[in-house]
């Protein structure tokens, strides 16, 4: 199944442990990514700076310069999606 997903340019969802969702320190947020990509923790922290809610799921989607973390969040019963660009950290919402 992974081969088919990879062929379509999609990656399987990233699996997180509850401890992985802790807020990173300001030092972690300021440090440039070593491999050119921000970490999942940094993506979650950036999303939470602009949107309140519980994290339901995080996935890495897209290819090349268009790689983004797709973060599903829930707040007061409403589920929404936040995207965090994997290299720039720019945060956007799907609506």
Q: What is the pLDDT of residues 44-70, one digit of tens each?
A: 999 999 999 999 999 999 998 999 999
First to last CA, the chain: 30
- For 2, 64, 85, the CA distances from 90, given in Å and listed in that order, are 28, 16, 5
Is 2-93 in CATH node 3.40.50.300? no
At residue 94, the pLDDT reads 79
Residue extents of the structural domains in the chain: 2-93
Stretches where the chain sits below pLDDT 50 are 1-22, 28
- For 2, 29, 38, 50, the CA distances from 44, given in Å and listed in that order, are 25, 11, 10, 10
**Helix H segments across 24-81?**
26-30, 40-50
């Amino acid at each position: 199944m992974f081969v088919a997903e990879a062929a379509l340019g999609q990656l399987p969802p990233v699996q997180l442990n509850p401890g992985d969702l802790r807020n990173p320190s300001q030092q972690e947020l300021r440090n440039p990514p070593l491999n050119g990509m921000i970490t999942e923790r940094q993506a979650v922290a950036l999303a939470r700076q602009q949107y309140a809610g519980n994290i339901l799921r995080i996935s890495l989607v897209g290819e090349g310069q268009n790689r983004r973390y797709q973060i599903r969040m829930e707040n007061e019963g409403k589920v929404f999606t936040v995207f965090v660009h994997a290299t720039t950290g720019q945060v956007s919402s799907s609506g």
